[in-house]
Structure 1
Amino acid sequence: MDYQQRPHCPIENLPTPFAEAVVHICRRTGAPPEVVASDAFAFTSTVTQRGFKVMGLNNSPMPTTVNTLSLAPTAVGKGESYRMFSQASGDLETTEQIQPSSVITIDDLLLQDITPSALMSCLAGHGKSASIQLEDGYSFLDGPLMKRGFISKLPQAWSGPASLKFSRHHGNKDAFEPCVEIGLRIQPELFYGFLGRNKSESRHLGLWPRFLTFCYDPARFPVTPWYAASSVSMPSHLPLMERLQALLPSGEVQPNSCQPARKVLVMDTYANAHLREIAYWLRGHMNDEFHDIQDAAGRAAENTLRLASNFHLVCQGEGPISREMIERAWTFVEWSLVQFRNVFVYALQPPPKPLKPKPMRQPKLPRLQQRVNADMQFMLDSIAVRRAHLRNDWVPLDEVALLTGFAKNRFQRTLGWLVMGDLVEIDGERDSLTVRAVLFQRLNGSYRYWPSALTN
């Protein structure tokens, strides 16, 4: 297996009912695919966890619960996407061809009072479930469920413990085989700020690694382009919602029993083998590919099975889970690991310090070259003085020698450099030599031919 760091939400790998629902709501609300896919998984899990479990790789049943964390800025349509899923029962009732199979609606399953006491009251008993779906999940972050006295129970509830106990105000409340599904929708900057204040304590307690992460933050990370959500020609979210409505009675108490019985799903041989291969591959790459997100990668195989069981219940409804559903689910979990790293690693890193450009300074010439340039400039100035006095371009060379005051060797060496640089010209006989300056401008290090001339 190869780890594919997918930058875009792989909605093309969704089963048909999910793909049609995601594309339809994306087109209708303008919400990004990351947000709509998160809502589809959250509300599907809300329904399926009531009546089903799935047999894990360790031969023990676990809930089909899939927690979702969706980060998206304001005014991108995440509220409209949430309402289309939570209030879809009205659409089903007003459609002539589709009739609801139960008086219970998805909205009735959502916990309204987000407190420990209300949650435990909902879970008290045997085989009860609760779903926390918040359109604006910022209040959840600093709410009572995230306090030190209760936050550790949220990862336990995700794992499907045999019992969950909580004692506060109204006596002991015991929940046997409870299931709690959490779906949060938060603005990225608010969530990053919470992690900074919290010092990622909630991550270290194991809460966020159990979530599938969906991040739509175009200011920081790659997002799914709109054209990627256009592969379905005539999409509709009603087939998915019709199937979820039909699954609602599965979590009701049976007439001859006082306890709701959850059916246990199993994988076929090929699905089981493929999931074991995924789990083995994940363990083998904990110290390289996933060294910074080992906590999330450690839950990836389990999340894959949970998501595949949701796909199976919607698309097949009976029989063992197929390898195809495992493959489709793994594609999303693999992409979610990239999102988890973006949110919990890259987003918390301090921004790079801005580079301060330093002005370019002209390189300092060696001392010998500085002295030679100064001598040449002084000789040119002397020529210019005599030229102005005589009012003639050609100046006697012996007068220039007297004016400079250079020793014979120094004078000849300086004059040689000026001749080699084509700055002066010499004319006349040996006893009556005259010199003329070609350029009347100050010498500095910007002359490109001087360094080459000095080395000759």
Structure 2
Amino acid sequence: MNHFPLNAFPSKLREVILDVEELTQAPIPLIASSVISAISLASQRLVNVKVNPFFESPVSLFLFVIANSGERKTTVDRMVMRPFYQHDESLLRKFDESNKNYSIELKVWEVKEKAILGLIKKKTAEGQSTEVESKRLKELQAEKPMRPKSQRYIYSNVTPEALQSAMSQHSSNIGLIADEGANILDRQVMKDLSFINSMWDGVDFHVERKTTQSFTIEDGRITLSMMVQKKPFDLYLKRQGEKARGSGFFARCLSVFIDENLSTQGERFIRPHSNEQAHLSYFYQKTTELLMAGSQNIKNSYRECLLLDIEAQYEWEKIYNKIEYQIHPDRKYANMNDFASKLSNNVARLSALLSYFTEGSCAIKKEYIQSAWLLCEWYMEQAINLFSYEDGYYEALLLSWLNREYFRRNSDYIKFNDIRRNGPNSLRKGKLLEKVIFNLEKAKAIDIEYSRKGARLVCEGAQFRYNDFTNNPIFSFY
């Protein structure tokens, strides 16, 4: 399922993606992931989504793009995220000026406080009343200068302590954005996955400090957009992969690997293009409007709750049940139940984002649920290719099926095409079966031979019953 469902996007957003593609010639899935991240970051301060009376969720999304050097990750990130970078750059200048004024005002205030405390100390020593000074001290506390807040959106090269402090003191709605994600993967922030996961869930997060004051991040939101090369990603998997998978971090992500099938390298020839990217200009304008609305919404922290209309509700429930059905050990999402458990939530979030960005405040229509499902289903296929292959699950499943079929047919071989037609459902489509066959042959669990007519035969190998895969509980499935 390498063909990216670009047509699932509403027409205006689809044209935005095509504008960026025309300018950068980067892979469409990479651009689309960046656009989704931008919409998530612009909207997470303003809306939640509610699919039924019992389930209200943030709309923040985690996007994880694995792409090697030359795929134009930085170019796409800077182009799509331009309104956020411009906002932060302008804000930083204003914040620096405000911080200078704050420092001066605080010093003046501290001098006044010191003077009053000095009088109180002196009068106390002399046995005189300090009522006037105490009253003045209380009044002075109300005049203490307030530290300016920076409503910065984008963070990248940051420690978890610094990020948590910023979300507590400044803005609890931020984007963890990195076009070279190795910077984040190498940082402690990706080791504190309970914090990252809590922000996706939309729950409060308490930070206990030994040397400084403890605090709680309330109603925090993080949009994660990480683009990383394959080698740093593989190294991270070796170091932290089991923890990241076990904590549910990867399951929360919409992931894609820009492999040779998705890459545009070798096809990016110089070609004439329009100088008027009207759709990209629309995207910048709309994003800026949401940023301004978010800035006005800081003080009351109110979020509008987007509901599904009746048809959309029914469609979401159908998708939920479809996902649940596919978790069966012999079906599409076998060994991916952690990802599947978050998939319907991501469908709801993405449908809300597409609807809100396109139509504003209104009930989410069925078409947006369907669009979100097409996109999330594609990302799920990518996740299967990236993550479902960790523990030999599919090898054990095929061995279980072969063991039954050898006995049932009273034979020690089965045609490869019979496996493709009648074998485990989860192995019938795509390239997964070839990978499984390769691994089983390498482990000497099976041998590959050919009939006189050239048919590929899967035969019982010397280690068929005694190998690493037969220790997997799924070996007893059939």
Q: Deviations over 1:70-118 (max 9, x none)?
A: 11111111110001012247999xxxxxxxxxx99xx941125522222
Between the aligned partners of 1:269 and 1:127, the Cα distance in structure 2 is 35
Name whichever of 281-290 and 54-63 sits farther off.
Answer: 54-63
Aligned to 2:167: 123
Aligned to 1:155: 197
Q: Is residue 74–residue 179 contact of structure 2 (8 Å, CA) maintained in 1? A: yes
Cα distance change on mapping 1:190 and 1:177 into 2, 3 Å: same
**Gaps in structure 1 of 5+ consecutive residues:** 1-5, 93-102, 356-456
Answering whether residue 201 of structure 2 is matched by residue 206 of structure 1, we say no
Between the aligned partners of 2:214 and 2:296, the Cα distance in structure 1 is 24
Aligned to 2:383: 340
Q: 1:271 is matched with which residue: 312, 315, 318? A: 312
The number of equivalent residue pairs is 331
Q: Deviations over 1:288-345 (max 9, x none)?
A: 2111211111111100110111101111002101000110110000000100011113
Between the aligned partners of 1:308 and 1:141, the Cα distance in structure 2 is 29
Corresponding letter in the other structure for 1:271: A
Q: Quick check: which one's helix share is greater?
A: 2
Q: 2:28 is matched with which residue: 27, 33, 36? A: 33
Q: Is residue 167–residue 217 contact of structure 2 (8 Å, CA) maintained in 1? A: yes
Q: 1:223 is matched with which residue: 262, 266, 276? A: 262
Aligned to 1:173: 215
Aligned to 1:241: 284
Q: 1:7 is matched with which residue: 2, 20, 25? A: 2
Q: 2:37 is matched with which residue: 34, 42, 47? A: 42
Q: Deviations over 1:106-162 (max 9, x none)?
A: x94112552222222232279831110001001212311122xx221211110101x
Corresponding letter in the other structure for 1:140: I
Q: Is residue 252–residue 339 contact of structure 2 (8 Å, CA) maintained in 1? A: yes
Between the aligned partners of 1:286 and 1:126, the Cα distance in structure 2 is 42
Aligned to 2:327: 286
Cα distance change on mapping 1:116 and 1:90 into 2, 3 Å: closer
Q: 1:196 is matched with which residue: 238, 244, 258? A: 238
Between the aligned partners of 1:119 and 1:89, the Cα distance in structure 2 is 17
Partner SS for 1:183: strand
Between the aligned partners of 1:281 and 1:90, the Cα distance in structure 2 is 40
Q: 1:53 is matched with which residue: 45, 48, 51? A: 48
Deviation of 1:61 (Å): 2.3
Between the aligned partners of 2:327 and 2:84, the Cα distance in structure 1 is 43
Answering whether residue 180 of structure 2 is matched by residue 141 of structure 1, we say no
Between the aligned partners of 2:86 and 2:250, the Cα distance in structure 1 is 34
Cα distance change on mapping 1:50 and 1:90 into 2, 3 Å: closer
Q: Is residue 267–residue 322 contact of structure 1 (8 Å, CA) maintained in 2? A: yes
Aligned to 1:417: none
Corresponding letter in the other structure for 1:123: M
Corresponding letter in the other structure for 2:343: A
Partner SS for 1:191: helix
Aligned to 2:401: none
Q: TM-score, with normalisation over the residues of structure 1?
A: 0.66
Answering whether residue 80 of structure 2 is matched by residue 80 of structure 1, we say no
Cα distance change on mapping 1:58 and 1:70 into 2, 3 Å: farther
Between the aligned partners of 1:42 and 1:11, the Cα distance in structure 2 is 16
Cα distance change on mapping 1:118 and 1:127 into 2, 3 Å: closer
Cα distance change on mapping 1:91 and 1:237 into 2, 3 Å: farther
**Gaps in structure 2 of 5+ consecutive residues:** 88-93, 96-150, 268-272, 393-434, 444-478
Aligned to 1:328: 371
Between the aligned partners of 2:264 and 2:246, the Cα distance in structure 1 is 33
Answering whether residue 338 of structure 2 is matched by residue 295 of structure 1, we say yes
Corresponding letter in the other structure for 2:374: T
Deviation of 1:224 (Å): 7.2
Q: Is residue 199–residue 221 contact of structure 2 (8 Å, CA) maintained in 1? A: yes
Partner SS for 1:65: coil
Corresponding letter in the other structure for 1:241: Y
